[in-house]
Structure 1
Amino acid sequence: MIQTVIFDMDGVIVDTEPVHRYAYFQHFEELNIAVTEDIYTSFTGLSTRNVFQKLKESFEINQKVEDLIQRKRSIFNDAFDSKEDLELLEGVENLIKELHQNGMQLILASSASKVTIERVFRRFKLHEYFTHVVSGEDFPKSKPHPAIFEHAASLSIAPKENCIVIEDSTNGVRASKAAGILCVGYNSIHSKDQDLTEADVVINHFNELGFDAVKNLDSKLRNN
């Protein structure tokens, strides 16, 4: 029986991608580098640190990674605070509340920084539902490396065989599978060009999930 659900944040709980995109491309313009759509899409699921580490390998950028991170976050924070129409993704709040009310443990494992996670959790009052929050900034390698999900599973009240991950990105799904954890791929309209074929099950809306469906997901998949 599933006892712990590990949520990604961006593209699963809230769509901050437009704000991130705005911040990144504003920063790219300041740096005078031409980042294509293909390159930008390949960054989905990576931490800000890993994004800039990769950019420094491809472009002539003199600034230190730490300085690049701080500038991008500054642009993001200003844009986030002024974006009034930022909402939780449809159906996810009901799912979170239903799972929590039925005693399911919820853990967040996001590539986002602690500052960004805290902004989202404070704005939408999510702290009471999650026992742990894990940020990708604490790990040297981003998804698809499994470290973040391995750590999240170590915080679970149950063995990882009784955990699931909900992810919307190619890198996130691969990280979950590399960690040996069942994965629900969320086919989000906000996460373009992502390959979810490695997920154990794919959903298009959170109304396809609920406590009973999640609880029995491990046994259902084993019997298929």
Structure 2
Amino acid sequence: MVQTEIGPVCFSDTEFAEYALKRALSKTPAPFSGVIFDMDGVIFDSEREVLHAWQEVAAKHQIPHIADVIIACLGTNFQATRKKFDDFYGADFPFDQYEDEMRAIFYRRYDENHGLPLKKGVKGLLVDLKSRNVPVALASSTREEVVRRELEDAKIIEYFDAIVCGDMVARSKPAPDIFLKAAETISIAPTDGFVIEDSYNGIRAAHAAALRPIMVPDLKGPDEEMKAKTEVILPDLDTVRTYFDAIDVKL
């Protein structure tokens, strides 16, 4: 059920994508010069994998409300995640022990599945942007070593002109640092660049950087704050690709 100008309407996935795209293009988007991708939850279906691993740890140790805490941590780096756990569970929470257990579960599944599952439409969008000579950066709160390994395992690292990671900037999302650095690295003005994000913290960071946030929701849908801070909300990357195809590139 989607709230539209004529009231709530039930859409199929295809109908919703068409509706969202038509609504987005009705605003006559300005030309763009570059695109910055978040990684987890946008390129890879990794946030769901992390949540499932944490839920397994939580079941073993009887940790309450783990899904709420993980969703609040989406988009942040390790230090910010640790702080959120401390704030919620208390300073005596054995975060390091449980986080090690979570990682063991996560990487066991990673190895079993030969990497992370790509989100729908990733490869087509990256190929299309490359064919249009649009500069593309990745801005992930994850450590560089991990980011490069996951992109290489997925055989998509060559599509990124720049990679900026959480261990390269002083402040984590929702601070704008990582997106400002990514925009600078691919030589675009913030107002000429799109950011594709799924998390609330990522959208807040892109908005604070004066970039043009596109939200593609993953584990949590948009609220009124997200609607106010995004240029557009689209259901998947195939729809983002169609959206970009309708907009002029300013190179």
Please give the range of the TM-score, normalised by the shorter of the 2 chains.
0.7 to 0.9
Find the counterpart in structure 1 of residue 37 from structure 2: 7
Query: Within the alignment, does 1:162 sit opposite 2:192 as a pair?
Result: yes
Query: Within the alignment, does 1:108 sit opposite 2:138 as a pair?
Result: yes
Q: Percent identity of the aligned residues? A: 29
Unaligned runs of 5+ in 2: 1-30
Between 60-69 and 120-129, report the one with greater CA deviation: 60-69
Please report the TM-score for the alignment, with normalisation by the length of structure 1: 0.81
DSSP 3-state at the match of 1:145: coil
Find the counterpart in structure 2 of residue 221 from structure 1: none
Residues 164 and 183 in structure 1, CA contact (< 8 A), matched pair in contact too: yes
Picking from 236, 239, 249, the partner of 1:205 is: 236
Shift of 1:161: 2.2
CA shift digits 1:99-121 (9 cap, x unpaired) = 01211111000122324322321
Structural mapping, 1:1-224, within 5 Å: 1-28=31-58, 33-62=63-92, 72-83=102-113, 86-187=116-217, 190-195=218-223, 196-197=226-227, 198-210=229-241, 211-215=244-248
Find the counterpart in structure 2 of residue 222 from structure 1: none
Between 150-159 and 203-212, report the one with greater CA deviation: 203-212
The residue type paired with residue 44 of structure 2 is: V
The residue type paired with residue 167 of structure 2 is: E
Please report the TM-score for the alignment, with normalisation by the length of structure 2: 0.73
Between 174-183 and 17-26, report the one with greater CA deviation: 17-26
Distance 1:207 1:57 in 2: 38
Number of aligned residues = 215
Residues 174 and 204 in structure 2, CA contact (< 8 A), matched pair in contact too: yes
Unaligned runs of 5+ in 1: 219-224
Which protein has the larger Cα radius of gyration, Structure 1 or Structure 2? 2
